[in-house]
Amino acid sequence: MLYQSIEYLGNSALYYTRDFGRMGSYLFLSILGIFKRPFRYNELLRQIHLIGANSLVVIFFTGSFTGMVLGLQGYYTLSKFGAEGVLGSAVALSLIRELGPVLTALMITGRAGSAMCAELGIMRNSEQIDALECMAVDPFRYLITPKFLATLIAVPMLTLIFNVVGIYGGYVAGVVLLDGNPGAYFVSMQNSVGNEDINLGIIKSFVFALLIVWICTGRGYFLHKIRNAGFGAEAVSRVTTQAVVMSSITVLVWDYLLTAMLL
Amino acid sequence: MSDAIIKFVDVVKSFGTQRVLDGVSFSIPEGKTTVIAGGSGQGKSVSLKLILGLLQVESGQILVDGKDITRMRRKEINQVRTDFGVLFQGAALLDSLSVFDNVALPLVERTSLGAAEIRERVLSTLDQLGLSGSEDKFPAQLSGGMKKRVGLARALQLQPKIMLFDEPTTGLDPEKSMEIYQLFHRTQQQFGYTSIIVSHDIPKIFNLADQVIILNHGKVNTFASPEDIPRSEDPDIMDFVKKTMGSVYLSREMEYAP
């Protein structure tokens, strides 16, 4: 029993060390693919469309309702102190520094990250990635790098859209529905939001984009190496779920770390 | 016998505690057809993946044209792979690309040919393999036999020196299997490639073989021709012959039973 427990611990340590090493070299090769030629511009545009343009509706709805909730809650709380005038500032800072990057990242993980993971997992299962390697086509340059670049371009842009829509959502709830002061909403926002807040939000969205695309595509790509993943369709579903959960948790952990480092 | 284009020298490969290849050595002669046979899980497909550098050996050497691919870096392996064409068990077509784009892929990625020349070459190959009119279809819209033919068309685009076929007729009915065998024969005559076929389709597949390699419990038996197999006195081979090439009836009485 003791012997088996020690063996299990040892095997687990080896597995996680190998897995981490594999994911590290995966990240390196994916970034290296950006500098390899010929570059697949059309595929990059297609991926930006899939990850970015196709996520606009989701981002629009999430952004507007998040802003509206912030507007309602903010108005209710601030009115207790007679400070409704700073509602615009509260909504904008919450969105730009925190909620915009985090919620956009979580929505993109669910919408595009899961799709990328499942796509690569199915390609791995049906030997399509092996076929590319056998044709001496670099799967990183061909498949992964366009997804990396597209996510790094699309997520910060979606975050900015989320912020703008959210700010107007807060305006609708706090000013239009609750009769707040429209001038005070925008003036307080302009007075309190600085470049450092916008930069923090953008840095966060870049880091989150990298984490999402790294984890989601990496898990799909190494589907055959993941312990206890099972086989066939079951493996794809398990690994996709695992990738989404892992990305979401990692985004939240890094959100805290980045806030602590850059505050 | 022709010179060996591929040589396995004392190759060992295990998965966990299971040793699939245990010091295996054999040679594949150039320009000929070698069939690799054996029961399930005996290392047939593993051998193909080792030749392609998709798996790594534990020890031993695999010489392709005299160069040991087990010691090569990724770039060198990619160079060697340009000599290979592979037809995977499920054809492994990229399912988001049309038939045309699948067949054109090696030319687009590995050559500097212009769009017009690529189109001409692809359509010509599709025509030769009886796939005219299918170029705009997607893999999901094709039958099993058509997928294999598209896979073969893709594999032949860079005029490989060595073709590897992994269970090429699995899942096909006898008529389609025969069609695929005839295609192998015709394309091999045309392109002169060395052919390595991993197959369960015994004894039919032996009609194509110049040499047969039987993998059994991590060991290898090489036969210069399929006719030599039934003459073997090795108990494992005798057992293999009985199970795979013998009558479907266990006795004459059973065959004629009402």
ipTM of the shown complex: 0.81
Residue A57: inside a domain, yes or no?
yes
pLDDT confidence of B244, banded at 50, 70, 90? low
Assess whether pLDDT exceeds 90 at residue A59.
yes
- Contacts of B180-187 spanning 24+ positions with Cβ under 8 A: B180/B145, B180/B148, B180/B149, B180/B152, B181/B205, B181/B207, B181/B208, B183/B129, B183/B149, B183/B152, B184/B33, B184/B208, B187/B152, B187/B156
A208 CA: distance to closest CA in chain B (Å) = 28
- B142 backbone φψ class: left, alpha, beta (φ>0; ψ -120 to 50): beta
Place of tokens 């991590």: B218
Q: pTM of this prediction? A: 0.84
Question: Is the Cα torsion angle B194, B196, B201, B202 positive or negative in sign?
Answer: positive
The owner of tokens 């899980």 is B41
Of A212, A206, A258, residue with least CA distance to A27:
A212
**Residue A75: pLDDT over 60:** yes
The SS3 of residue B78 is helix
The overall average pLDDT reported for chain A is 92
Q: Which two tokens stand for residue B36?
A: 């690799």
Q: What pLDDT band is residue B255 in, cutting at 50, 70 and 90? A: very low
Q: Residue A247 falls within a domain, yes or no?
A: yes
**A38 cis-preceded (ω within 30 degrees of 0):** yes
Higher pLDDT, B175 or A33: A33
CB contact under 8 A, A130 and B54: yes
In a domain, A19, yes or no: no
Instruction: Say if the Cβ atoms of A133 and B86 lie within 8 Å.
Output: no
**Between chains, do B95 and A128 touch, taking CB under 8 Å as contact?**
yes
Query: Per the domain annotation, does A23 fall within a domain?
Result: no
Cα separation, A175 vs A172, in Å, equals: 6
What would the two tokens of residue A144 be? 């992964």
When CB atoms are compared, the residue of B82, B92, B110 closest to A128 is: B92
Please indicate if any CB of chain A lies within 8 Å of the CB of B81.
yes
Q: By three-state DSSP, how is residue A231 classified?
A: coil
Cα(A79)–Cα(A85) distance, rounded to whole angstroms?
9
Predicted confidence band at B216 (pLDDT cuts at 50, 70, 90)? confident
CA A55 to chain centre: 12
pLDDT(A71) > 90:
yes
- Kindly compute the dihedral angle of the four CA atoms of residues A236, A240, A246, A250, in this order, to the nearest 10 degrees: 130
Q: Is the pLDDT of residue B207 over 90?
A: no
Task: Decide if A68 is inside a domain.
Answer: yes
What element of type H or E holds B11? strand B4-15
Q: What value does the mean pLDDT of chain B take? A: 83
A27 assigned to some structural domain: no
Encode B161-230 in three state secondary structure. Answer: CEEEEECCCCCCCHHHHHHHHHHHHHHHHHHCCEEEEECCCCCHHHHHCCEEEEEECCEEEEECCHHHHH
Provide residues of A within 8 Å CB-CB of chain B.
38, 122-123, 126-128, 130-138, 142
Residue A20 is assigned to a structural domain of this protein: no
Checking if the pLDDT of A93 tops 60, the result is yes
Return the pLDDT at B252: 47
pLDDT digits (tens, 9 = 90+) for B36-67: 887 777 788 888 889 988 888 999 999 988 88
Into how many domains does chain A fold? 1
**CA angle, residues B69, B75, B81, in degrees to nearest 5:** 55
Containing structural domain, residue A145? 34-262
Residue B218 to chain A, least CA–CA distance (Å): 23
Does a structural domain hold residue A18? no
